[in-house]
Structure 1
């Protein structure tokens, strides 16, 4: 057996990409964590890891049970047990019920709901054994209401929210802080700015601000834990 030399806490960012994923990785690395970045495209996630001190990249399709098991086995072997799971994976085709296909509906569910389930199952046993740990899901306003164009995305995010709530009720008494962040707004990404050139910068969700909120959840006093918080820009109508 390979000896694990890492002595720092371990955070996993599942669904690592530019924007929220990168900001989460950088914030937790700055807080002293070694960060495991998970993404489907090995090259892209490796390039992302180059921007994050004390991080490692792992190719992983969160909607595939075998891929998730292999990735988390490698993380445990390389870095040790996981202290914080930050589930940022999110996918969905935006279309109405007449246009959406069964394959697209299932794909959205696999990433947002099944992926959250599979990744959580990998970290829960050791967290229970140690009596501590954090699992934070990056959710969406769509989990609360179904829009015309979210016939696939909203049900998937609603399933993720229900899973998170069920987990919180079960795992909080065991010392595991399960929480959900509702992102209400458009995340500030280069593509977002191109698509909305007239939108003020302050009307986009800042990935850095979101990452700060997530880190805050993982440092809360256990006598004052939050389950669900919202992150939105101050110009967002709600």
Structure 2
């Protein structure tokens, strides 16, 4: 099996932690993000991390970036779709464009990446696709209509992919993060919160790594992660 991992959506937090975890495990990691400066700095720290500037919402660009990854690193065996975000408004206040923008990054970007990488995954004995999701996929709060509806659609898409690809030994898993990820901006906004209030990116990366190592006789489709004190 080729040890090539692609992480889409690399920034401070979960994206960086995923890159570091899979580099630690001996993978060549292709880092895909819009921010060239951040991924190039990270590539300078990690010899097995490689920067590819890519906007996940540019759906037509996926085939070319995955072709370059295969040419430079080899066939991909792990895809980690960490790109996300969306518009947080009520269904009354959000525009159709707000809904479309949320769908494009959470659903469209995943479809484009999946279709581009699938021929490479099929070259492996086993392969994995792990999607970073959110509790909004399970419940639509009043002022999260565009984001929550896109995350719910992404979850359904992931389940459909898992059912299709399971017989080919391609493991698709969806990770629901229920909590506030520990980032400089969240620390600044919630300076009164203790350390154990936050979701630690390194712990998320450990859980994602575990999913990619599961035996096919006991695969997890959905894993929810939250701090021990989170109300749920």
TM-score between the two structures when normalised by the length of structure 1:
0.94
Q: Could you tell me how far apart the structure 2 residues matched to 1:103 and 1:133 are?
A: 35
Residue in structure 1 matching 2:156, options 155, 162, 172: 162
Secondary structure, counterpart of 1:86 in structure 2: strand
Residue in structure 2 matching 1:62, options 56, 81, 94: 56
Q: Could you tell me how far apart the structure 2 residues matched to 1:63 and 1:69 are?
A: 13
1:214-229 equivalences in 2 (<5 Å): 214-229=208-223
2:88 paired residue number: 94
- Does residue 30 of the first structure (1) align with residue 24 of the second (2)? yes
Q: What's the offset of the Cα at 1:126?
A: 2.6
Q: What's the offset of the Cα at 1:131?
A: 3.7
Secondary structure, counterpart of 1:148 in structure 2: coil
Q: Could you tell me how far apart the structure 2 residues matched to 1:151 and 1:86 are?
A: 25
TM-score between the two structures when normalised by the length of structure 2:
0.96
Q: Structure 1, residues 81-130: CA drift from partner, whole Å, max 9, x if none?
A: 00100000001121212322222221111001111111111222232243
Q: Could you tell me how far apart the structure 2 residues matched to 1:54 and 1:8 are?
A: 14
Q: What's the offset of the Cα at 1:179?
A: 0.4
2:203 paired residue number: 209
1:124-163 equivalences in 2 (<5 Å): 124-163=118-157
Q: Which runs of 5+ in 1 are unaligned?
A: 1-6
Q: Could you tell me how far apart the structure 2 residues matched to 1:45 and 1:94 are?
A: 27
More moved, 102-111 vs 75-84 = 102-111
More moved, 160-169 vs 119-128 = 119-128
Q: Which runs of 5+ in 2 are unaligned?
A: none
2:105 paired residue number: 111
